[in-house]
Structure 1
Amino acid sequence: MLRRLSLALAVASASSGLAWAEEAPLSAKTDLVSVYQEAVNNNADLAAARADYQARKEVVPQARAGLLPNLSAGADMSNTRTKLDQPSNTANRSGTVYQATLSQPIFRADRWFQLQAAEATNEQAAIELSATEQNLILQSAETYFAVLRAQDTLASTKAEEAAFKRQLDQANERFDVGLSDKTDVLEAQASYDTARANRILAQRAVDDAFQALITLTNRDYNAVEGIKHTLPVLAPTPNDAKAWVDTAAQQNLNLQASNYAVNAAEETLRQRKSGHAPTLDAVAQYQRGDNDSLGFSNTGTSLPGQEPFGGDVEQRSIGLQLNIPIYSGGLTSSQVRESYQRLNQTEQLRESLRRQVVESTRNLYRAVNTDVETVQARKQSIISNQSALEATEIGYQVGTRNIVDVLDAQRQLYSSVRDYNDARYDYILDNLRLKQAAGTLSPADLEALARFLKPDYNPDKDFLPPDLAKAAETSLRSSPEY
């Protein structure tokens, strides 16, 4: 019976016969939700975004302070020297004045609009923080599945190396008994060396992917749980592009933040325009101190029938202060023109973002639907390429095919394996990206994916669905060449 090199045999050789196929203890594996929780607790970018929000929200109490009473107190200590020419006399007096001033804005249109702008800015900051938190959900998934993608690529590359090593051994055996020439051995050796180099690069890609996971969470990981092949690959719900676009227009967080940015710019414009308006404040003042310091005895003034003031003096006053701006060198008009342009800029940025959100949502909707078909097509491609490889090997054994055909068929098979795994992870991530564009992405989406994680996932054995080898065998048996 002819000896066939099946994909199942190559996988078995890769997982059991290669020294680098060591599996981390199951207890050391982590899952997707745990990675996300660690990112929430330890991610530096998120911590910076939270600090930025806490700082930006202070604009509201700062703006409100301009509408609230202002109370100040102080003291003034002075020494006064008075010299009179007629009669010649010099007097020195020192004294301290204590004062307190209370002012309450009554009409301050500019400060009121400033408060409105500050509140809009605060809402914008809050939504931008939510957008950062939502982006961390996607970033956690992208980093996590990048590890799985790299591990599956490494597993297929190791299986490919094992297949080429077996082909090299067979070429040497055939050369030793005179069934092939040295060219077959050299071709097989070249393919094996290339596969070995690819495996080394794939191993580095796995290490790099784990390093990105460490950077994201500030935690070390030895292994992560893999995704089951039973994960449903379904079209998005609802399967309607317009519905997704409408949802994105209403719920996309970045778009909502841009709406508040426009509101803030509008209120700022009103604030600048109100620079032409009068202001009215109520002011109350209390003073107590030496009469020299308060300025009574310097002029010798006194009430009718009384001697000039002596000793300490106490003053109380209350009144209204009206200020009518007339001309400030063109400052207010310039600020109004600037605010008009800032408002126009903000509106244009919002429109640009809206278009980007619509484009991204439509593209991601199409991507998910394409991924659904691609996953199935890639899976079938593995079956077809495995059958083609085994049929080519049969032809090589009977002399109708050469070793180059066999090596090409092997490369095509493992290329289809990697394409299948890429399609799976593209489907998962495109789904999450679509939800983020629509503004509906939440930790619950990660929890839903976590239900399809496999704690004992071994990339060297599980990078392919368990039914593929059997399906390829059935397909080969039914072909005329078998």
Structure 2
Amino acid sequence: MLRRLSLALAVAAASNGMAWAAEQAPLSTKTDLVTVYQEAAANNADLAAARADYAARREVVPQARAGLLPNLSAGANMSDTRTQVDSPANTSSRSGTVYQANLSQPLFRADRWFQLQAAQATDEQAALELSATEQNLILQSAESYFAVLRAQDNLASTKAEEAAFKRQLDQSNERFDVGLSDKTDVLEAQAGFDTARANRIIAQQQVEDAFEALITLTNRDFASLEGIEHSLPILAPTPNDAKAWVDTAAAQNLNLQASNYAVEAAEETLRQRKSGHAPTLDAVASYQKGDNDSLGFSNSGAPGQARFGGDVEQRSIGLQLNIPLYSGGLTSSQVRESYQRLNQSEQLRESLRRQVVQNTRNLHRAVNTDVETVQARKQSIISNQSALEATEIGYQVGTRNIVDVLDAQRQLYSSVRNYNNARYDYILNNLRLKQAAGTLSPDDLAALEQYLKSDYNPDKDFLPPDLAKAAEAQLRGNPQY
């Protein structure tokens, strides 16, 4: 009787027959998760743009503060004026230079004070939005990193599947040659192999695409990445209480905190617009120095004739009060606009709060679902492997046909891909849950480092090492394994 085609045998055939992954990713140049994040933090263009945006936005504070500080200006005026009177005929001229300095100090400017308060709130909002961008880069690094590992594991499983279908095709040809099967079996096996080969080509492209996305994120080229071990604990979130996570998110979610400052800035802007109706009071001082002609000191009877000789100095100091009476409705319109902007910012904050609550609850459920799914998917591999071997035995003795065998093989490798997808979904959903709660940090990536395997080979390590033994135990009816 022919040897049953086990999953371990297919993996070995794929590893020996297809060395693409090994050629693309030398083990000596593998990169870990933290290094990828560090490269992203140093080279990511979106993060650099966000930092530049923050540096620009924080300048609103000194700009607003300037409206409350003294304003000092200096200047000079040089002129040459000629005056001619027709009757009686008389011509005079005046020329000279005047130097002047003016000082103004706001004493009561309610609008500028509220403008400063709004600017400070905007500065806090910008800082939190930058922090949210930096935190999101942690998640992006993990998503890009594990997208590569997911694609590599998917490629490894499709290569093993292709090798399994190739072996089935060879067996079908051998059976046809000795008259144990008809041409239909060969054609069915050929169709299965061709499909598996097409899937392997697509999976190979997906690996290359995943590496390309990692290059875009970090502006660095990586030959290979360290893989995640199957010993990674698959545990429920701590605490396993959705309300506790929601409360943490309400208090610490960075985008939600930024929206609070956006509302505060809108409130201060409204106060600023309202204070446009208030009077203003400034202390003013001026100083002028120039010759008497330039300053206009002359006898009233004869224009241009100096009353004083030499230079003249003028000094003045006083208070300047301005009471707005009517500005064409501009101030009232700006107040109405600010009311609506405040309402807009409050509604956006409420929308964001609801979204954060929804995402936190959904992600908490997703992590708990992932915990059960990973175990179920692992058991599914064992069951499908046992089912495949049983189907192959039936095919050898004539109780099953080739279509049954091919379907069992497809189910087996589909369960393999589902298992690996569940593992990576668990890792990423954990990180997304922490981001929603506002607690995600680089330490979470460092915590995964201990489960990364520097000699990870996708062609051999995409499956848990105990699967073959577990499948054989199940096939023999040993449920306690």
Q: Same fold (TM over 0.5)?
A: yes
Partner of 1:231: 232
CA distance in 2, matches of 1:20, 1:63: 61
Partner of 2:408: 409
Native 8 Å contact 1:297 1:310 kept in 2? no
Partner of 2:346: 347
Could you state the TM-score of these two structures normalised by the residue count of structure 1?
Answer: 0.97
Secondary structure of 1:22's partner? helix
CA drift of 1:80 comes to 1.2
CA distance in 2, matches of 1:301, 1:49: 69
CA drift of 1:181 comes to 0.2
| 1:190 matched to 2:191 | yes
Partner of 1:200: 201
Native 8 Å contact 2:149 2:227 kept in 1? yes
- Indicate how the Cα distance of structure 1 residues 301 and 280 shifts in structure 2: closer, same or farther if over 3 A, else same: farther
Secondary structure of 2:381's partner? helix
CA distance in 1, matches of 2:280, 2:177: 104
Deviation per residue, 1:368-394 (Å, 9 max, x gap): 000000000000000000000000000
Report how many aligned residue pairs link the two structures.
477
Native 8 Å contact 2:293 2:306 kept in 1? no
CA drift of 1:291 comes to 1.9
CA distance in 1, matches of 2:209, 2:21: 17
- Indicate how the Cα distance of structure 1 residues 299 and 474 shifts in structure 2: closer, same or farther if over 3 A, else same: farther
CA drift of 1:301 comes to 9.6
Deviation per residue, 1:106-148 (Å, 9 max, x gap): 0000000000000000000000000000000000000000000
CA distance in 1, matches of 2:245, 2:77: 69
1:112-123 pair list within 5 angstroms: 112-123=113-124
| 1:332 matched to 2:347 | no
Secondary structure of 1:81's partner? strand
Native 8 Å contact 1:300 1:308 kept in 2? no
CA distance in 2, matches of 1:402, 1:5: 15
- Gaps of at least 5 residues in structure 1 are none
CA drift of 1:450 comes to 1.2
Partner of 1:162: 163
CA drift of 1:83 comes to 2.4
Moved over 6 A (4+): none
CA distance in 2, matches of 1:320, 1:22: 82
Deviation per residue, 1:287-340 (Å, 9 max, x gap): 0112222222274699xxx98223321100000000000000000000000000
CA distance in 2, matches of 1:69, 1:307: 36
% identical aligned pairs: 86
- Indicate how the Cα distance of structure 1 residues 475 and 307 shifts in structure 2: closer, same or farther if over 3 A, else same: closer
Deviation per residue, 1:73-122 (Å, 9 max, x gap): 00111111122445422122211111000110000000000000000000
Deviation per residue, 1:424-451 (Å, 9 max, x gap): 0000000000000000000000000111
What value does the CA root-mean-square deviation take over the aligned residues? 1.5
- Residue 132 of structure 1 aligns with an amino acid whose one-letter code is T
CA distance in 2, matches of 1:406, 1:388: 9
Secondary structure of 1:184's partner? helix
CA distance in 1, matches of 2:306, 2:203: 103
- Indicate how the Cα distance of structure 1 residues 75 and 400 shifts in structure 2: closer, same or farther if over 3 A, else same: same
- Gaps of at least 5 residues in structure 2 are none
| 1:33 matched to 2:51 | no
Partner of 1:20: 20
Secondary structure of 2:20's partner? coil
CA drift of 1:27 comes to 2.0
Secondary structure of 1:448's partner? helix
Native 8 Å contact 1:292 1:298 kept in 2? no
Partner of 1:110: 111
Secondary structure of 1:282's partner? strand
1:82-93 pair list within 5 angstroms: 82-85=83-86, 87-93=88-94
CA drift of 1:25 comes to 2.0
